[in-house]
Amino acid sequence: MKHKSLSVLMIVFLVLSSIFISGAKGNNKIGINVVLNTDVTNAILADLGTRGTVRDVVYEIDALTMQIRSANLRAIQALPYVASASPDAERNGAPVDTVSVTDFMDGLSTWDQDAINVTDFGFNNRQVEYDGTGVYVAVLDTGLLDSWRQYFPEERIAEEYGIAFGGGGGEVGSVSSQPNKWEHDQNSHGTHVTSTILGYSLRGTPVNGVAPMATIIPVKVLNQNGSGWSSVVARGIVYVADLKDSGELGDSPVVINMSLGGPVQEPVEKAAVDYAIEKGVIIVASAGNSGDAGMGYPGAYAPVISVAASGWIGEWPAGNRSWWWNTNVAEPTNPADFYITDFSSRELTGQDLDVAAPGSWVVGPYQLQSGKTSYYFLGGTSMASPHVAGIAALMMQKNAALTQAEVEGYLEISAIRLAPGCRTVLGPSGSSETFCWYADATGAGLATADAALAATPP
């Protein structure tokens, strides 16, 4: 009897504990993003205010962020004026000297620029007619380092439009802007991404970029750890779209590069993408670095131009540590010379992968010590995406009337098919590694600037 009574008491204890824990979880405060199926009104905001705290309203896309108790999420999702409501989703990806050159068109070629046929081996070797003149490229990323003027010509960075957005996620859900924080990044990710588009100064030696005469709008949406929230990314997208729509940028074409993403599609971010495309902005994003686990969002969202990471079999030849700038990528482009990296996200059902571009061993500015210039090889679809954003800028320079769907279409029809296969490649240690992939890893194939421009009508 004694043992039986203890068993009964234990069962009662476990049941009560379960109820307590369940209730505690329901009382957790979370940040959520809400998209309405109607315009935002004061009546709707007041009603939602009875169910939580409205933190931020994005009127352009009929969306808002809230802080609520997790137990209230289903009730909010069921409201007749709510199209979707979900937890905020994670997203991952002081002036010193002025660069003495105005652009890097006559600069040194690197393997990745050679691989997309923007340049050829050596200096003064531009291989395409266009250079990005008159096109804005908004880089939604970590912002730029304090020392960005040591890497980029000052006139290539639109300081007047630079902005930082922060907050989001967690238990707060609010998004704030800090106009000057964009140029005080400590992460370097955004600076490296920008260097692929513009080119950069390598201790005084100019290095070519995909679109060296484009103008960069730095929009900081990721924190100093290189991570952030979809609500903040959405704010950045809407900011750029509004710049385009307001006429602030004149008639200039606008491209957004997002070397960032996360495994979950988030409705407010999706609404922001749709809004920007409607306003005529071209959007390019990385596919993600999750391999067979699938693509990241917003890249996996079909209207976005998504980019996988390719590499070159000429990497790290024995005895040549300077291969990245002094070794020629053979032309015409031979798909047998390239591979898909193992980290590059593969396309799952319901996801859309468009093209591939260099994303393995790409050199650019990357600082480990604040204020001390340094350069590193980086690998990731984050490095691949700006190659295609730069190509998109060249296409928009040729024909500013192109739509998002047209840019994606011309990139795909002009891509060089990379059939499923395997390649054995040397690494920096001298040991070899074999990379294999299937059709879900390549999209339409390898993007090249010359072919994309040839496919683009004037």
Q: Which helix (H) or strand (E) element contains residue 151?
A: none
Bond from prior residue into 87 cis (ω within 30 degrees of 0): no
Distance CA 453, CA 458 (A): 9
Catalytic residue at 177?
A: no
Q: For the residues of 73-105, what is the DSSP string, one character each?
A: HHHHHTSTTEEEEEE--EEE-------SSS--T
Q: For the residues of 342-393, what is the DSSP string, one character each?
A: SSSPPPPTT----EEEE-SSEEEE--SSTT---EEEE-SHHHHHHHHHHHHH
CA 411: distance to chain centroid? Answer: 18
Catalytic residue (choose from 382, 387, 414, 450): 382
- Alpha helices (H) in 81-229, listed in sequence order: 111-115, 189-198
Q: Which amino acid is at 31?
A: G
Catalytic residue at 100?
A: no
350 in Cβ contact with 264 (< 8 Å)? no
Distances in whole angstroms, Cα of residue 221 to Cα of each of 102, 162, 353, 397? 28, 11, 23, 26
**435: CB partners within 8 A, 6+ apart:** 311, 339, 340, 341, 342, 422, 423, 424, 425
Please provide the distance, in angstroms rounded to a whole number, between the alpha carbons at the two ends of the chain.
91
Distance CA 311, CA 313 (A): 7
452 in Cβ contact with 410 (< 8 Å)? yes
| Residue (of 197, 200, 202, 239) closest to 214 by Cα position | 197
Catalytic residue at 141?
A: yes
Catalytic residue (choose from 56, 62, 114, 141): 141
Based on the number of CB atoms within 10 Å of its own CB, is 42 exposed (0-12), middle (13-18) or buried (19 or more)?
A: exposed
Classify each residue of 229-239 as buried b or exposed e, where b means 16 or more C-beta atoms within 10 Å of its C-beta.
bbbbbbbbbbb
Catalytic residue (choose from 62, 146, 189, 354): 189
| Residue (of 348, 226, 240, 358) closest to 299 by Cα position | 348
197 in Cβ contact with 214 (< 8 Å)? yes
Tokens, residue 284:
């390019």
Angle (nearest 5°) at CA 195 between 332 and 318: 55
Token pair 């992460």 in the structure block, residue: 187
Which positions are catalytic?
A: 141, 189, 382
